[in-house]
Amino acid sequence: MDILLSLASHPWLTVLAVVVLLALVLYERTLRLFGFVIVPDDSIGTLTKGFVLFGRHRELPPGRIVALYGEAGLQADTLAPGLHLGLWPWQYQVELVKFTVIPDDAIGVVEACDGLPLPDGRVLAHHVDCDNFQDARAFLAAGERGLQMTVVPPGAWRINTSAARWPATASRMPAPSWPAVASAARR
C-alpha cells in the first residue's frame, strides 16, 4: 500500500514505472527500435535494405534481384539464430523465416530466383558448391537462374528464401517397385 501512495505522490515515478513495464512487455519491439534483432533457434532472418546513402554500390546491377555488396534491396546474407546489432528499423526490414525442412522420404527441388542466365538449350542449371544452397553469396557468384540440377537432401536447412524457392513441396522419392523394374528389364 505504501508503494501505491508513493507512486500517487510522485507522478514522474508513476510514468517511469509504466514505461519500464511497457518496455518489459514489448521487449522485442523495444530492442528492435534500438537496432537489435533476436532470431529464434529454428529460424533465419532474411534482410531487405531500404536505402544506401553513400558508397560505390548504391543500386542493384541490371538484371539482379538479390544484393551481394550491400546495395538496397533483398540481401544475400541471412541472420543466423541469436542476437544481432546495428540493424536499424528505418534502414532494414527483417523477416523471420523457419528453416526449410525436407522430410526423410523426400528430396528438395530448388528454383533459383537470381544468378547468371541459363545458356540457350539448357533446362537445368549446373552444380555450384554452395553448401546445399545455404550460402547464397557463393551460389549467386557462379550459379544460374531456374531449376537446379542439384537437389537438397532430407534435413533442416538455412536457405535464404529470397534467393531460392521451392516450385512445389519437396518431391517424394518413389518406393521401390520390383515388378516395374522386372517388366522394364524384359523389354
Mean pLDDT to the nearest integer, 19-24: 80
52, 72 Cβ separation under 8 angstroms = yes
**Per-residue confidence (pLDDT) for residue 25, from 0 to 100:** 77
**Per-residue confidence (pLDDT) for residue 63, from 0 to 100:** 86
pLDDT digits (tens, 9 = 90+) for 117-170: 999 999 999 999 999 999 999 999 999 999 999 999 999 999 998 888 876 545
Q: Which of 116, 146, 145, 150 is nearest to 134 (CA)?
A: 150
Burial of 59-68, coded b for 16+ CB within 10 Å and e otherwise, reads: ebeeeeebbb
Long-range contacts of residues 24-27, Cβ cutoff 8 Å, at least 24 apart: none
Mean pLDDT to the nearest integer, 102-129: 91
How far is the C-alpha of 182 from the C-alpha of 186, rounded, in Å? 6
Rounded to two decimals, what is the model's pTM?
Answer: 0.74
How far is the C-alpha of 187 from the C-alpha of 183, rounded, in Å? 7
Residue 20 has pLDDT above 60, yes or no: yes
- Residues for the chain: how many in total? 187
Would you state the cell numbers that stand for residue 171, as one nine-digit string? 518431391
**Per-residue confidence (pLDDT) for residue 187, from 0 to 100:** 45
How far is the C-alpha of 135 from the C-alpha of 77, rounded, in Å? 8
Question: CB under 8 Å to 59, separation ≥6 — which residues?
Answer: 52, 71, 72
